[in-house]
Amino acid sequence: MNILLLEDDVILSEILNEHLSEKGYFVSSVYDGEEAYEMILKKRYDLMLLDVNVPLLSGFELLKLLKEQYVNIPTIFITSLDSAHELKKGFDLGCDDYLKKPFELLELDARIEHLVKVNNLESSQIKIDEQNYLDKTTYELVKNGNRVKLSKKDFEITRYFLSQKGSVVSHAQLIANIWFESEVPSDATLRTYIKNIRAHLGKDFITTIKGVGYRVNIQ
């Protein structure tokens, strides 16, 4: 699992990086918000640990920027701030949890493990329904016991749709969460990917909302 750690206290950052690496996580440590933003544009992260008061772009500002660009990554704020106002601000921006400094590493572990469980980050299977799932280790769709190899982009788009089930996904959201800084696909290319996914999962799996985007039709 890939974790982005934004912490400008070098000693604390090294302690957290070493501890999380020993737990089997892949950790990218950055020391200011702009560097964090650049990293997120280049690589997919499963979880962010963000200090609030960091140089150039605060943790709050970074999360707000990402949400405006439809980039959704489970987030824990690590901060010495403890006012109810600041706490509310973080949750209003879309964070998942808070960790107040100073803290025990055991508490950090517990909060990460909770988000891993809630967001199904560690499982190799991404459930579609009771019979079908995506296999993250092989980039395959397992449908009624049969394995179908998907292209990397078909797999990533399907996985993102599943993470947003019940919501309408706009073209901008897809591009921000799948293509990052790489070449933006044309409308025709995007329609081809949607067509491929429907061919594998049925034409009713994704509904086109004209002028808005797409909706996944599963519970």
Q: Report the CATH number at residue 101.
A: 3.40.50.2300
Quote the pLDDT of residue 22. Answer: 87
Collapsing DSSP to helix, strand or coil, 81 comes out as coil
Phi-psi region of 207 (alpha: psi -120 to 50; beta: other; left: phi over 0): beta
Quote the pLDDT of residue 41. Answer: 82
Q: What is the tally of helices (H) and strands (E) in the chain?
A: 8, 12
Which one of 118, 147, 177 terminates a domain? 118
The reply to whether 179 and 210 lie within a common domain is yes
Quote the pLDDT of residue 180. Answer: 66
How many residues does this entry show for the chain?
Answer: 219
Which one of 62, 83, 118 terminates a domain? 118
The reply to whether 50 and 138 lie within a common domain is no
CA distance 118 to 136: 17
Quote the pLDDT of residue 4. Answer: 94
Quote the pLDDT of residue 62. Answer: 92
Q: What is the CA radius of gyration of the chain?
A: 19
pLDDT (tens digit per residue) in 73-94? 899 999 887 777 887 888 888 8
Quote the pLDDT of residue 182. Answer: 62
The reply to whether 60 and 88 lie within a common domain is yes
Quote the pLDDT of residue 49. Answer: 95
CA distance 182 to 111: 33
Helix pair angle (105-118, 10-22), 10° resolution: 60
CA distance 56 to 90: 18
The reply to whether 78 and 153 lie within a common domain is no
Quote the pLDDT of residue 35. Answer: 94
CA distance 51 to 163: 26
Q: Report the CATH number at residue 169.
A: 1.10.10.10
Domains identified in the chain, total number = 2
The reply to whether 160 and 98 lie within a common domain is no
The reply to whether 44 and 112 lie within a common domain is yes
Q: 191 is in which domain, residue-wise?
A: 125-216
Quote the pLDDT of residue 181. Answer: 60
- Give the residues of the chain that fall short of pLDDT 50: none
Quote the pLDDT of residue 19. Answer: 93
Which one of 118, 150, 171 terminates a domain? 118
The reply to whether 11 and 96 lie within a common domain is yes
